[in-house]
């Protein structure tokens, strides 16, 4: 087992409430270095909220979020954020900036020089198979798949220790989605970084993850690989969740 020194994230008793409702409810979660973890569960179960807590965009009402041995606080969150690459749901590109401007915004803010920026962008375009000629396009002039590649490049620009992605393929049509799943798997392998990714698609989770973390009503119900969820479900919800996804054609003859 990974010792404390090698963990990327350690969440202990983390809760976040909105009004009377617990979006995230007493979550304990340890994510080791170089692990690829996928958070999954039905809409509204707290996946995005959990990711935002890990990135420090919102603060827990109770519990602790430790990133690389440091508790995330309002004092250190800005510095810690530079070691995390985060892709929000729907990509979050600035529409009035070109792909290149979107990708390099933070590096320019940190006064990287032009040669360093150019070299990094070329590395990332190669990694994500993004054509250099398209870097001068605005988000509206790109396909959905290209926008996702740009969002990924932006998140990776500062060479973060961890990459967090919130349903990066959610809005794409099935053909493009399948291509990007393939590409993402190769990119994750080449990077060798810790990845925390949200999806609601079990086949996608099984294809990409070392560890699947299944959430229900703000709580972690079970974590492990797909076969452990199928063979030893923690409760009826796990079985229902898996069976509900077996009907979708992508799973037939596939992972399930
Ligand atoms: N900023 C917010 N204000 C009020 N309620 C919120 C807010 N963010 C999330 N919630 C609620 O918390 C629950 C979990 O939301 P979310 O984390 O977005 O779920 P998921 O990403 O799994 O679909 C939902 O009931 C949602 O309505
Ligand atoms: Mg969400």
Cβ-contact 22, 76 below 8 angstroms: no
What is the per-residue pLDDT for 170? 82
Nearest CA to ligand 1 atom 16: 46
pLDDT by 10s per residue, the chain, length 256: 444 458 999 999 999 999 989 999 999 999 999 999 999 999 999 999 999 999 999 999 999 999 999 999 999 999 999 999 999 988 899 999 999 999 999 999 999 999 999 999 999 999 999 999 999 999 999 999 999 999 999 999 999 999 999 999 887 888 888 999 999 999 999 999 999 999 989 999 999 999 999 999 999 999 999 999 999 999 999 999 999 987 654 444 455 5
Counting from 1 in the atom list of ligand 1, the atom nearest the Cα of 47 is: 22
The DSSP bridge pattern shows strands 194-198 and 36-40 to be parallel
Pocket test for ligand 1, best of 25, 44, 58, 198 (most atoms within 8 A of CB): 44
Distance CA 47, CA 238 (A): 16
Distance from residue 31's CA to the centre of ligand 2 (Å): 20
Phi and psi, residue 52, nearest 5°: -65, -35
Cβ-contact 162, 196 below 8 angstroms: yes
What is the per-residue pLDDT for 87? 95
Distance CA 26, CA 186 (A): 34
Distance CA 51, CA 86 (A): 9
Distance CA 68, CA 54 (A): 11
Is there an atom of ligand 1 within 6 Å of 40 CB?
no
Nearest CA to ligand 1 atom 24: 44
What is the per-residue pLDDT for 256? 53
Maximum distance among all Cα pairs of the chain, rounded to whole angstroms? 56
Q: Where are the domains of the chain?
A: 84-159
pTM of full prediction above 0.85: yes
What is the per-residue pLDDT for 248? 58
């Amino acid at each position: 087992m990974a010792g404390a020194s090698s963990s990327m994230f350690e969440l202990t008793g983390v809760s976040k409430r909105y009004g009377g409702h617990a979006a995230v409810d007493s979550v304990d979660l340890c994510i080791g270095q170089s692990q690829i973890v996928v958070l999954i569960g039905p809409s509204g179960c707290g996946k995005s909220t959990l990711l935002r807590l890990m990135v420090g965009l919102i603060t827990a009402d109770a519990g602790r979020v430790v990133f690389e041995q440091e508790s995330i606080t309002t004092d250190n969150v800005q510095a810690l954020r530079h070691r995390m690459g985060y892709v929000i749901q729907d990509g979050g590109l600035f529409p009035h900036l070109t792909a290149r401007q979107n990708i390099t915004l933070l590096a320019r803010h940190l006064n990287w020089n032009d040669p360093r920026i150019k070299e990094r962008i070329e590395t990332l375009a190669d990694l994500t198979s993004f054509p250099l000629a398209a870097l001068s396009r605005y988000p509206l002039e790109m396909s959905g798949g290209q926008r996702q590649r740009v969002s990924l490049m932006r998140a990776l620009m500062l060479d973060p220790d961890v990459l967090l992605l919130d349903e990066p393929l959610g809005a794409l049509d099935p053909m493009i989605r399948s291509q990007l799943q393939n590409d993402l798997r190769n990119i994750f392998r080449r990077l060798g970084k810790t990845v925390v990714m949200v999806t609601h698609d079990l086949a996608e989770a099984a294809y990409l993850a070392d560890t699947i973390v299944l959430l229900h009503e703000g709580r972690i119900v079970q974590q492990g690989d797909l076969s452990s969820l199928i063979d030893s479900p923690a409760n009826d919800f796990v079985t229902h969740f898996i069976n509900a996804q077996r009907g979708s054609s992508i799973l037939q003859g596939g992972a399930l």
